[in-house]
Structure 1
Amino acid sequence: MRCSYFDAGVCLSCTLMGSDYSVQLAQKNARVAKLFSDFPTLSWLPPMASAESHFRNKAKLVVGGTVSAPTLGILGPSGRGVDLQECGLYEPALAVSFEPLVRFITLATLPPFDVATGRGELKNIIVTVSPAGELMVRFVLRSSESIVRIRKHLTWLLDALPQAVVVTANLLPERKAVPEGATEIVLTEAQHLPMRLTKATLNLRPQSFFQTNTAIAQGLYDQAAAWVASMEGPLHLWDLYCGVGGFALSCAGPDRSVLGVEISEQAIASAQTSVADSNLDVRFLVGDALTAASHEEADPDLVIVNPPRRGIGDLADWLDRSPARNVIYSSCNADSLIRDLAQMPHFTPVEARVFDMFPQTNHAETMVLLERVA
């Protein structure tokens, strides 16, 4: 893949841009496998490749420029907006939204926020696309001052962008280097974006997390489901750090009781919406993974963990002492995964796989099946 923005030095986020993709994938797989050199019997499945381009289902766009000539992209070194509307990473159904959104900024008179002066209202636009091509559009604002104009012209936006099913205003009054604030005002009747996957439909609320590469997310869920299906007998399965319930819902089935735990109320609300119309034996609750694990009455046979980059911390000690026979650990940081494994001496990895969530970068997802040993 080639990129004119990268070649011009305008955006250097894709650090492996221009490298042969097969080489990128092989190097990622080798780097992760090297971290597991203390487990010589570990079986490695072939790495799951991604499309080289047009794979991102979410765009976090910094708004710059002026009302009459807005930019959508990133902040440059000077603190001014750099337009990246032609970036080749976004799914086509996502990229086609950018031009109508630029026109809407002008129509609704939404002054882009200027970092240097602290003036302006519209900081970012966050757009997510579903497998069906539907969109969630979120306007991140400094204050509520612009919401009346967004509401006034919302019909125009929905006509120009009919695939937009959820539109919100997010308030970020603080001057922080974060993409969104805590307050979300939904402006449409629909409040969630359906992500229709192979075995489940996940309903994303505005502040719910979902993996940025839908095809690779599906691959992660399918691999976990395959490992679970290979296990004999009824299972009591826990999905800790469950997010919107992707692993829990994908691994649910006959003779399986599933519990999902996540600290984000928005994510659990999304998960509960997804399971409400199903006949699956899945229960979701809001809470800290370690606290919830310590207070559950029924013991798990299998625990799935999908933590943030820092890993699972003290939960590793709890898992090592628990009666669980297996753990499936999905990690966005193989280094913290290895550190956590050192705290779980009663488990050994038996099968593993690398998933290329972010081509053109050094980032890789790793999922490992752990088995209890004597």
Structure 2
Amino acid sequence: MGHAGLAVLDCAHFDAGECRSCTWLGRGYDDQLATKQATTRALVGATAMVWEEPVTSRHAAFRNKAKMVVAGSAAAPTLGILDPRGLGVDLRDCGLHIPVVTDALPVLAAFVARADLTPYDVAGDLPVGQRGELKHLLVTGSPDGELMVRIVVRSRSTEARIRKHLPWLRAELPHLRVLTLNVQPEHSAVLEGEQEIVLTGQDTLPMRLGAITLHLRPRSFFQTNTEVAAALYRAAVDWTAELAPQRVVDLYCGVGGFALHLAAPGRTVTGIEISADAIASAERSHDEAGLPGEIGFAVGDATAPGHAELLSEADLVVVNPPRRGLGHELARRLEESGVPHLLYSSCNPETLARDLADFASYTPVRGRLLDMFPQTPHAEVLVLLERQRSE
């Protein structure tokens, strides 16, 4: 992926001080990448390991998801973020989003006006029940140009109006595959609630990554950078092919990204994930893919102690934890399992380094930085660990 050396991204919102989400926006891309590599290598601290060339990213139009706070009025909504006073800053023209998402945002703003959806007033002094209904619009785009839109509201009081105007929205956005109403009643900064009402016939967004298509449900996690996510899975496949494991366990398997890509003839792959929705997505993707080998998924807590036998029988364990990392208890159980190889995909090099320090019997032998989040100090890192042979 030859994106290195690209120019600095221009952004009027950054220049005006309206949005500082892209904390590294003023830095050249080569400088960003070099700093991330140096920081990651210093944190990991394994001088003997082989670092492969980093996977670079587009510096703009790479985010497949927009998380837009809705403010202003129903007649003139803003879609973006809130300023320090709680007023809306409109970011419909944000240069980070992929085109299908960017093109959808003005249509969704028009839908807000058409359906008379009053934005929720975070900063006002009105009682919660009088503060409006519409909180966020969460928009995800697929490689095939389809959309998932989640409308986050305080209650279901606007559901009838949204359903009434849904035919108009579908006519304006013919590539809209999934539309849901998410209910978040709390007066807090929580992005979404537990209740999700699907308003379309389809309830998953297919994300095609080469030969594998992953199905995303509304509450599913997927990396925000589709191109770099595909490169992450390709790296895992290449590294695993050289190990030729017969039994693979994928903890934190999510919608099955690693597990499905690592399927191979004669290989058993087991994915564990706490989200039942994610497991349902993984199973659907597996059913459609016709992959070789034996693949199974189970709902479960990756950090729970009940997987000891499964881990002890594995040749390779894949872990892809959230930003907080594995934690000492799970790291200890992996240490005790005796599994020959660990493949660790991390979105936080700091917690990766902490977890690696807990693996007394493992040595990092291979690493690669994947620039999942340009214009920020964040990065995805893939590390292969090998268990040291006892003398």
Q: Report the TM range for the smaller structure's normalisation.
A: over 0.9
Question: Quick check: 1:311–1:337 contact (8 Å CA) kept in 2?
Answer: yes
Could you say what secondary structure the match of 1:153 adopts? helix
Question: Quick check: 1:221–1:250 contact (8 Å CA) kept in 2?
Answer: yes
Moved more, 333-342 or 145-154: 333-342
2:160 aligned with 1:148, yes or no? yes
Letter in 1 for 2:241: A
Q: How many residues align?
A: 372
Q: For residues 82 and 266 of structure 1, what CA distance do their matches in structure 2 show?
A: 33
2:302 aligned with 1:289, yes or no? yes
Q: For residues 111 and 306 of structure 1, what CA distance do their matches in structure 2 show?
A: 39
Could you say what secondary structure the match of 2:338 adopts? coil
Partner of 2:38: 30
Could you say what secondary structure the match of 1:145 adopts? coil
The TM-score with structure 1 as length reference comes to: 0.97
Question: Quick check: 1:64–1:81 contact (8 Å CA) kept in 2?
Answer: yes
Letter in 2 for 1:305: V
Partner of 1:109: 116
> How far is 1:149 from its partner?
0.5
Q: Deviations over 1:181-208 (max 9, x none)?
A: 1100000000100001113110000000
> How far is 1:298 from its partner?
7.0
Partner of 1:184: 196
> How far is 1:116 from its partner?
2.1
**Over the residues paired in the alignment, what is the CA RMSD in angstroms?**
1.2
Q: For residues 143 and 163 of structure 2, what CA distance do their matches in structure 1 show?
A: 27
Q: For residues 241 and 141 of structure 1, what CA distance do their matches in structure 2 show?
A: 29
> How far is 1:17 from its partner?
0.7
Partner of 1:369: 384
Q: For residues 294 and 147 of structure 1, what CA distance do their matches in structure 2 show?
A: 46
Q: For residues 351 and 105 of structure 2, what CA distance do their matches in structure 1 show?
A: 37
Question: Quick check: 1:199–1:249 contact (8 Å CA) kept in 2?
Answer: no
Could you say what secondary structure the match of 1:341 adopts? helix
Partner of 1:3: 11
The TM-score with structure 2 as length reference comes to: 0.93
- Structure 1 residue runs of 5 or longer lacking an equivalent are none
Question: Quick check: 1:332–1:364 contact (8 Å CA) kept in 2?
Answer: yes
Q: For residues 21 and 169 of structure 1, what CA distance do their matches in structure 2 show?
A: 38
Partner of 2:3: none
- Structure 2 residue runs of 5 or longer lacking an equivalent are 1-8
Q: For residues 81 and 262 of structure 1, what CA distance do their matches in structure 2 show?
A: 36
Partner of 2:25: 17
Partner of 2:79: 72
Q: Deviations over 1:22-76 (max 9, x none)?
A: 1111110111011133x22111001111000010000000000101100000011
Question: Quick check: 2:311–2:334 contact (8 Å CA) kept in 1?
Answer: no
Q: For residues 331 and 211 of structure 2, what CA distance do their matches in structure 1 show?
A: 29
2:63 to 52, 56, 71: 56
